[in-house]
Each structure stands twice: as structure tokens, then as C-alpha cells.
Amino acid sequence: MSIVPLKQILDEAIKGDYGVGAYNVNNMEQIQGIMRAAKETKSPVILQASRGAIIYTNMVYIKYLAAAAVEESPEIPMVLHLDHGNSLQTCKQAIALGFTSVMIDGSLKEDSKTPTTFDENVEVTKSVVEYAHSLGVTVEGELGTLGGIEDGVGSGQVKLTNPDEAVRFIKLTGVDALALAIGTSHGAYKFKAKPTLAMDIISAVAAKVPATPLVMHGSSSVPHELIEIINAYGGKLEKTMGVPIESIQQAIKRGIRKINVDTDGRLAMTGAIRKYLADNPSEFDPRGYFGAAREAVYQSVRGKMIDFGTAGHAGDYKPATLEEYKKIYAGGLK
């Protein structure tokens, strides 16, 4: 059994100076592709489910799909994390399902669109920290807002994180990890040209709170090859650019430890399914195209595990339980 609190995986990543991808999941094939990559590269892994994913899987399926991953890969430290929780209530629901980590995105109001004030963000984040820590569960917060808007998450306005506010936010709320806004956005349409991200913000925060792992959302690289496959087989995606791997590697060097990736998995699956169906027009067994999609997710995530430096670290430490972290939080040790 090695479903662990996110705090353990990220604190270990600080010690080993590497990053860990947090991959959004909604179905069995995504989870299998990611877990195969984790096993083969011996990587700790973060599976994250959005509110949309929890609704799509009717809650109970995400719970048991994650349990299946744990049973099949006991040697892999794995986290089940709520992505962009919008209220204490949503976080409580995820924790009741067995999530070992939650994000409370207090940078936006409960509608996940309207930006909040600093004080409103502190208030909701503190309430989640108090509840989650009493159960040993990790909390990720967010300060600043990402650009872009995808699937109802995001205000469309960019507000880069102010490093001094970030340090104050961490101290006031007790969050275990903090997502910074450094110029990335969710989805496939991030940039028209190679981006310049606000890397100094990472360094400024990490210099003041080196023990707090930092998080980067909107980290898909949107590889040209995947866009080309989709368009070659009937898709219509515009030319676009994501976050280059080198930028993610620089961000890791400066203190980013959790790297959120959803879009690249979506692109990989869509391209594989389009290609499979075009190449096999008489095929109607879903295992054919879902199998191809699973393989594409595996390929994509395997590369990231190597590029982020996660590979090889699964066996570095003994997996911890929520009970152990409950005691740590109760003792005031962070």
C-alpha cells in the first residue's frame, strides 16, 4: 500500500532536487498509461482529478481506479490529489473519497472565474488547511491567477504572483505547497511564440521559504508532433505553443516541485484515437483505439518523468501514511 500524502513526495523532491509531474486523470486508460510509465521509470507519481473528473467518474470510479493503481504498483509512491478545489465542501468530499491531497484554489471565488482578494483567499485556504491537516491530508494553495480560460477554470486575467505576498500567504495559511502564477495558462492555446516566463518569481519565493514546495500549473508543452497527428487525421487545431521542456527544467532548478499536466495527455489520446480509427476503418472494438490512447499517454508521461528528473526516485524513501502525517501536523512540526 503506497498511497502517500503529497507533502511527502514534494519534500523528497526538494531533497533530491527534482520535479514530479501531476497528471490529470479521468478514466482507466489514462491511469494505466501513467502507472506503466511510473513503474518502468521507477518514479513517484501524482494522479490528480479535477471536479469535472470527479463528476465524470461518478466519484466511486475514480476512488476504485486509484485503488487499483495502488494495488498493482505497491512499489510506487502515489498521490491522489484534488485539482482546483473551489470550496471547503469540495475538499471535504474528495478527502472522504480517499484523496491524500487537495488543492484549494482560493485565487478564484467558488465559481472558479472571479478573482478573490488576498484576504478572501487566506480565509478559505486556512479553513481547508485546518480540516485537511487534522486528517493528515496535504493542502496546495494558489496565489495569483493564470491567464487563459479552459473548461471553466480561470478568470481570463493574468495576475502574476507577488513574491512578498506569497511568503505572507504561506505563513498565514500553513499551506504545504503553493501554486505560483508565472505567466502560464491552462489548455492548448498558451502562446503564439516561445514564451518568457517570470522565473524570477520562483527564485524570489524559494529564497525566502525554501522548505515550501512550489507548483506550476499550465505546464503542458503542447508538442507540435501531437498537434500534427491530430490535424493529419481530421482534427482542426490552430498552431500553438506550450511550455518548452527547458523552461520547466529551469523552473525546477529554481524551486518548482509539482508540475501540472493535463492538456498533453488529452492531445496524445486524441491523436492516437484519430489515427487508429483512420488506419483501421473496419475496426469497431474499442480496445483497439483505447489501447492506442493508453500507449500514447504512456509515451508522453514516460518522457516527462525522465525530463523532470523524477525517474529513479520511487525507492528513495519509505512511504508514509496519513496517520503519520496527522501526528506530525498535530505536533506542530511542518
Residue 107 near residue 121 (C-beta atoms within 8 A) = yes
Residue 145 or residue 212: which is nearer to Zn ion going by CB?
Answer: 145
Residue 300 interacting with ligand G3H (CB under 6 A): no
Q: Which amino acid is at 118?
A: F
Name which of residues 151 to 190 contact ligand G3H (CB under 6 A): 151, 153, 186
Q: What amino acid is encoded at 14 in this protein?
A: I
**Does the footprint of ligand G3H cover residue 258 (CB under 6 A)?**
no
Site membership for ligand G3H, residue 24 (CB under 6 A): yes
Nearest approach in angstroms of CB 260 to ligand G3H is 7
| Closest residue by Cα to residue 7 from 238, 331, 321 | 321
For the bound state, the minimum distance from the C-beta of residue 154 to ligand G3H, rounded and expressed in Å, comes to 8
Rounded to whole angstroms, the Cα distance separating 76 from 90 reads 27
Q: Which amino acid is at 80?
A: L
CB of 99 to ligand G3H, least distance (A): 15
* Stretch of 57-65, 117-125, 216-224, 278-286 lying at the interface with Zn ion (CB under 5 A): 216-224
Mapped onto helix, strand or coil, the DSSP state of residue 84 is strand
Beta carbons of 42 and 315 less than 8 angstroms apart: yes
Of 84 and 275, nearer to ligand G3H (C-beta) is 84
Phi and psi at residue 133, to the nearest 5°: -65, -30
Question: Would you count residue 24 as binding ligand 13P (CB under 6 A)?
Answer: yes
User: Can residue 51 be called a binding residue for Zn ion (CB under 5 A)?
Assistant: no
83 binds ligand 13P (CB under 6 A): yes
Residue 179 binding partner per list Zn ion, ligand G3H, ligand 13P, none, with a CB distance cut-off of 5 to 8 Å that depends on partner kind: none
User: How many CB atoms are located within 10 Å of the residue 274 CB?
Assistant: 20
Q: How far is the CB of 227 from ligand 13P (least distance, A)?
A: 14
Is there binding between residue 218 and ligand 13P (CB under 6 A)? Answer: yes
Can you read off the three cell numbers belonging to residue 33? 498509461
For 162, the grid coordinates are: 507577488
Q: Is 50 in the site for ligand G3H (CB under 6 A)?
A: yes
CA distances to 6, 138, 168, 207, 298 from 11, rounded to whole Å, are: 8, 11, 20, 16, 26
Residues 227-266 that bind ligand 13P (CB under 6 A): 260-263
Q: Is 164 a catalytic residue?
A: no
The yes or no reply on residue 246 touching ligand G3H (CB under 6 A) is: no
3-state secondary structure of 87: coil
Measured distance CA(118)–CA(177) in Å, rounded = 17
Quick one: what does residue 17 bind among ligand G3H, ligand 13P, Zn ion, none, with the CB cut-off 5 to 8 Å set by partner type? none
Nearest distance, CB of residue 108 and ligand G3H, angstroms: 11
309 near ligand 13P, rule: CB under 6 A? no
CB 5 within 8 A of CB 79: yes
For ligand G3H, which stretch binds (CB under 6 A), given 45-53, 130-138, 162-170, 193-201? Answer: 45-53
Q: How many Å apart are CA 19 and CA 244, to the nearest integer?
A: 15
CB neighbour class for 227 (10 Å; exposed up to 12, middle 13-18, buried from 19): buried
Determine which one of 83, 105, 176, 264 is catalytic.
83
Interaction residues for ligand 13P, span 167-186 (CB under 6 A): 186
256: nearest Cα among 306, 219, 304, 297: 219
Shortest CB 103 distance to Zn ion, Å? 8
Query: Residues in the site for Zn ion, rule: CB under 5 A?
Result: 217, 260
Query: Residues in the site for ligand 13P, rule: CB under 6 A?
Result: 24, 83-84, 186-187, 217-220, 260-263
